[in-house]
Structure 1
Amino acid sequence: MRAYKRFIADDQHIEELVDFVRSTLDQYGIKKKELIRAALTAEEAAASLIGHKSDPEEKGDPYIDLTIRGMLGTVTIELHAAGEEYALEQSMSSDALSLENIPSSDVQDTLRQIILGSYSEGLKYRHKNGVNYIQMTVVRSKNAFLFRTLGAMAAAVLLGLLFSSFIPTDVNASINHLVLQPVKTMYMNALKMIVAPVVFFSIISCLVQFSDLTALGRIGGKIIGFYLFTTVLSIFVGLTSFWIFKPGDASLTSSLIANVSSLPSGSGSVSIRDTIIGIIPSNVIDPFLKADMLQLIFMAVLCGVATNLIGKYSETLKDLFQACNDLFLKITTLIIKMMPLAIFCSIMSLILTPGIRTLLSALEIMGTFLFGLLCMMVCYCILMVIIGKMDPVPFVRKYAPYMLQVFSMASSNASIPINMDACEKKIGIDKKIYSLSIPLGATLNMDGTCVHLAVFGLALAKIYGVELSAGALLSMVLTILILSVGAAGIPGSGLICLSVLLTQINVPMEAIGLVMGIDPLCGMFRCMSNCLGDVVASTVIAKSEHMLDMKIYHAK
């Protein structure tokens, strides 16, 4: 939607401009609070343009052009008028915004200036070719990022099919090698860079909020116990899904990608003993360099508990840890803004590299995996009824939009801010619960990954003719359990875990080539299921601790 109107640039026509803004925004369905703020800001912005308009005798039209645009839930206002360049911040914060120049008796004007002062930061100003432009965002769509991501996915599929059909194979291979793969690699490296400090400082900033360590131990025990239960449940859901559909065709072996050297290989020896011993690092640097999640969690818990015990320096360290947490979450947000580009390159590379026929064949295994995730969603609802003694319908209704957002991110760690926002504002969970459960869940609770490993591990074993005995299946279950606990919540970690699992069950590593192409899409579904499990656990534990605001939970 778009609305445009031209106004004479003088003080007598500002009221007409404001009325137009109000009526147009009202037609767009803008809430009253945002409407009033936008109208006041537009009035002040128009006044600043009039104050710096061109001399009537000089070149330039004595008009203000106003355009209101609405697209995909985002509404913006733009005003422009010919005039000299000036500093908008100073103009709007001088006499017009100075509370000292406003009579104390004029309460309405005083409140108006306070609103303007808080809203003026959202303005964007530029001067080009003798014209001043002011733009403001009235409402920013919460799904704008999702729309961009879905658009990138659709464009990647369309261009990928066109390129694979009409462009020579050698040219497609060059495009993939020189453009698509480098973008994917840089983006994944950026996520790997940020994952360690995000997990470390998120957990510390959470633990330092607990002055009562007994309460921390009780709540932490409940959270970890619930995560362990759903992890075991998800493994058996994955195994059952495979046995129902039995995906995997030996003819797919010929479609394997020969070169899997770029995939980081894991150790084939995965034991409970080694995992427990490896929790404690030999120094404080290696966990960050290697992004070892279990060691980072150990160090974070140790630092968080110790911070509450050191006396006079506790408050200083708490502020420092909270500042570091805010810093790295903001960096994560900035990195995630590049997700649509990374998704575009990933999906287009997926289509160009293995070919559409191989992709469609491998989707049989992926379909079984998605069935397993659907079963886990049903299990979550049942657990909320039985353990939480609560209606899951409000939860599903409120968290569904967030599921689409975390789906597009494909990273449990990057989704931490989104899940925390959902817990607090939509579901009503106390901060003491979600600030511990969400960061822990992003590392420890990987239900979607467990379903993925079970289905894909058994399917690839079937393709290569590997028979699994009862003992081998038990070993596989334990391996998946260990891998899910230590998996990093970043794109690509599921593929690394799968390589370790295949080695454990004696399936050739070359089998990774079959699923390497579709893993980005699988990763999105894994992340969505992982995050759903984290928020469900947070809700159930909050209910048991009487830290769930039922008014917010049931609010429509």
Structure 2
Amino acid sequence: MKALSNPALQIGLGAVGGLAFGLIVGDWAAELKFVGDIFIRLIQMSIVPLVMASVIVATGSMAGAGTGKVALRTFQWMLGFSVVAAVLAWVLSVLVRPGAGMVFDGELDSGLRDSADQALGWQDTLLNFVSTNVFQAMSTATMVPIIVFSLLFGIALREQISRTGDTSVLTFIDQIQQIVLTMIRLVMKLAPIGVFCLLAALAGDVGFAVVTTSLKYLGTTLLGVLILFALFVVVVTVRTRLDPRKLPGKLAEQTTIAVTTTSSAVTFPTVLKNTVEKVGVSQQIANFTLSIGLTMGSYGAVLNYMIVVMFLAQAGGVELSIGQIALGMGLAILLNMGTITVPGGFPVVAMFLAASLDLPVEAVGLLIAVDWFAGIFRTFLNVNGDTFVAVLVADADDEIDREVYNGTKTVTAEEIDLDEYSDTLARADRAE
């Protein structure tokens, strides 16, 4: 009975029950759609204040960026692999078309409509990134101008704090962020019911296409994860000339924890220990790159977020322009790199992406229902990708002990104080 208290299991049961109910009942299941719509709207109404508060707090809290060659190499590798993940997700989505077969012809939520429906030149597109009235942008959930305003506000707030030492405004906005996060946690208690009703209505409308579409979505994500993992191995092998045949044994323990907990934060101590004791990366390099990678090295998340963008576009019959595709990639990368911290988990991320690109949200319930499986794929790539980046950064400074890697020497990693990483672990957990 204790297992039934697990939120992921409850959502899974709600999804299975909704699919079965919709397939059995048929068209009548559409009568339940309004309940699912209420659940979606409860999430939607939290997005604008949450994103604004999160971006302002993240920007306003920066006391100074890391400096030095190690920091530069770390960020270069992380950004490079994030870009590759986003492009790969787009390519796979175009080839596999995971959202095809579930096309929604209804009107989009009026709150998500924006002038992006019109064909704009690139100058006008960039101009619309800056709003003349941020409150109007907030009222229509036009996310990019909101993010631009929040970034500028956070930078100005950082300047004010540096000049006066007064952190009261930052503390106030941080409290708003925490309160909205609590709201989302309360809303997510309704997720099993909301997902049941959404999927019952979908299954009643499109039949078994619901099942095949979810499998295509998960299959696209898994294929992307495997390709990116193989790319990591190839790059590490070419750059470091380490024997790739030894990697499975070195990554097995952290991979097991990652896929069973779907939490990079829970896996972090094991990743740090194994990167030093089994891979041979120096303690100093491992401490820096892995702690940064915990929140900024989520390559599986970048891949998944871009697939979500394409899935929603295909499900809604929306043809994305090159500019919109580039914006989707940019948002996926920014979500990963920590500039846009959206706590609350996948449902909020999916709604944020839909609002940012004016995509229909009817299929989000299906994505929420199978997100536990997608979370396994994301976390697998996230934690192992962090180790690979640590190896690449360490190799450039000759900070890899090859005897340790080859198993002819034993070292012991320093005991870590988890309290020291508490904020970073919390951010990583909220992001996943």
Smaller-chain TM-score range? 0.5 to 0.7
Per-residue deviation, 1:269 = 2.2
Residues 497-555 of structure 1 show CA distances to partners (whole Å, capped at 9, x for unaligned) of 23222222221233322312112221221122111211110111112222222122122
Per-residue deviation, 1:411 = 2.4
Helix, strand or coil at the partner of 2:362: helix
Helix, strand or coil at the partner of 1:508: coil
What is the rounded CA distance, in whole Å, between the counterparts of 1:370 and 1:531 in structure 2?
A: 15
Equivalent residue number for residue 171 of structure 2: 285
Equivalent residue number for residue 270 of structure 1: 144
Per-residue deviation, 1:457 = 0.9
Per-residue deviation, 1:430 = 1.6
Note closer, same or farther for the CA distance 1:522–1:348 as it changes in structure 2 (3 Å cut).
farther
Equivalent residue number for residue 220 of structure 1: 71
Helix, strand or coil at the partner of 1:387: helix
Greater fraction of residues in helix? 2
* One-letter amino acid matched to 2:171: I
Note the 1:255-334 alignment, pairs <5 A. Answer: 268-270=142-144, 273-274=148-149, 276-277=151-152, 280=155, 281=157, 283=167, 284-285=170-171, 289=175
Note closer, same or farther for the CA distance 1:361–1:508 as it changes in structure 2 (3 Å cut).
closer
Note closer, same or farther for the CA distance 1:512–1:463 as it changes in structure 2 (3 Å cut).
same
Equivalent of residue 354 in structure 1, options 193, 199, 207: 199
Equivalent residue number for residue 130 of structure 2: none
Note closer, same or farther for the CA distance 1:437–1:497 as it changes in structure 2 (3 Å cut).
same
Equivalent residue number for residue 109 of structure 1: none
What is the rounded CA distance, in whole Å, between the counterparts of 2:90 and 2:341 in structure 1?
A: 22
Higher Rg: 1
1:230 aligns with 2:105: no
Residues 96-144 of structure 1 show CA distances to partners (whole Å, capped at 9, x for unaligned) of xxxxxxxxxxxxxxxxxxxxxxxxxxxxxxxxxxxxxxxxxxxxxxxxx
* One-letter amino acid matched to 2:358: N
* One-letter amino acid matched to 2:85: S
Residues 157-193 of structure 1 show CA distances to partners (whole Å, capped at 9, x for unaligned) of 8999799979x99xxxxxxx9xxx9xxxxxxxxxxxx
1:421 aligns with 2:273: yes
What is the rounded CA distance, in whole Å, between the counterparts of 1:529 and 1:488 in structure 2?
A: 21
Note closer, same or farther for the CA distance 1:417–1:527 as it changes in structure 2 (3 Å cut).
same
* One-letter amino acid matched to 1:270: V
Q: Does the 8 Å CA contact 1:487/1:493 hold for their aligned counterparts?
A: no
* % identity of equivalent residues: 19
Helix, strand or coil at the partner of 2:358: coil
What is the rounded CA distance, in whole Å, between the counterparts of 1:493 and 1:547 in structure 2?
A: 36
Note closer, same or farther for the CA distance 1:469–1:352 as it changes in structure 2 (3 Å cut).
closer
Equivalent residue number for residue 248 of structure 1: 99
1:445 aligns with 2:288: no
* One-letter amino acid matched to 1:243: V
Equivalent residue number for residue 355 of structure 2: 503
1:523 aligns with 2:372: no
Equivalent residue number for residue 424 of structure 2: none
Note closer, same or farther for the CA distance 1:488–1:481 as it changes in structure 2 (3 Å cut).
closer
What is the rounded CA distance, in whole Å, between the counterparts of 2:214 and 2:140 in structure 1?
A: 23
Equivalent residue number for residue 241 of structure 2: 389
Pairs aligned (count):
321
Q: Does the 8 Å CA contact 1:492/1:519 hold for their aligned counterparts?
A: no
Note closer, same or farther for the CA distance 1:270–1:158 as it changes in structure 2 (3 Å cut).
closer
Per-residue deviation, 1:475 = 2.0
Note the 1:137-286 alignment, pairs <5 A. Answer: 217-251=68-102, 253=104, 268-270=142-144, 273-274=148-149, 276-277=151-152, 280=155, 281=157, 283=167, 284-285=170-171
Q: Does the 8 Å CA contact 1:428/1:550 hold for their aligned counterparts?
A: yes
RMSD, matched Cα? 4.8
What is the rounded CA distance, in whole Å, between the counterparts of 1:540 and 1:408 in structure 2?
A: 27
Greater fraction of residues in strand? 1
Equivalent of residue 335 in structure 2, options 466, 470, 483: 483
Q: Does the 8 Å CA contact 1:252/1:361 hold for their aligned counterparts?
A: no
Q: Does the 8 Å CA contact 1:414/1:490 hold for their aligned counterparts?
A: no
Residues 308-362 of structure 1 show CA distances to partners (whole Å, capped at 9, x for unaligned) of xxxxxxxxxxxxxxxxxxxxxxxxxxxxxxxxxxxxx999997897369535532
What is the rounded CA distance, in whole Å, between the counterparts of 1:245 and 1:503 in structure 2?
A: 24
Per-residue deviation, 1:479 = 2.0
Per-residue deviation, 1:275 = 6.5
Q: Does the 8 Å CA contact 1:407/1:528 hold for their aligned counterparts?
A: yes
Note closer, same or farther for the CA distance 1:445–1:365 as it changes in structure 2 (3 Å cut).
same
Residues 29-72 of structure 1 show CA distances to partners (whole Å, capped at 9, x for unaligned) of xxxxxxxxxxxxxxxxxxxxxxxxxxxxxxxxxxxxxxxxxxxx
Per-residue deviation, 1:378 = 1.1
What is the rounded CA distance, in whole Å, between the counterparts of 2:397 and 2:213 in structure 1?
A: 48
Per-residue deviation, 1:447 = 0.9
* One-letter amino acid matched to 1:453: Y
* One-letter amino acid matched to 2:82: T
Per-residue deviation, 1:237 = 1.0
Equivalent of residue 325 in structure 2, options 459, 462, 473: 473
TM-score (norm. length: structure 2): 0.60
Equivalent of residue 547 in structure 1, options 399, 404, 421: 399
1:364 aligns with 2:216: yes
Helix, strand or coil at the partner of 1:414: helix
Helix, strand or coil at the partner of 1:449: helix
Q: Which runs of 5+ in 2 are unaligned?
A: 26-34, 40-53, 110-138, 159-166, 179-189, 409-432
Equivalent residue number for residue 263 of structure 2: 411
What is the rounded CA distance, in whole Å, between the counterparts of 1:475 and 1:550 in structure 2?
A: 42
1:514 aligns with 2:340: no
What is the rounded CA distance, in whole Å, between the counterparts of 1:454 and 1:160 in structure 2?
A: 23
Per-residue deviation, 1:249 = 2.8
Q: Does the 8 Å CA contact 1:430/1:547 hold for their aligned counterparts?
A: yes
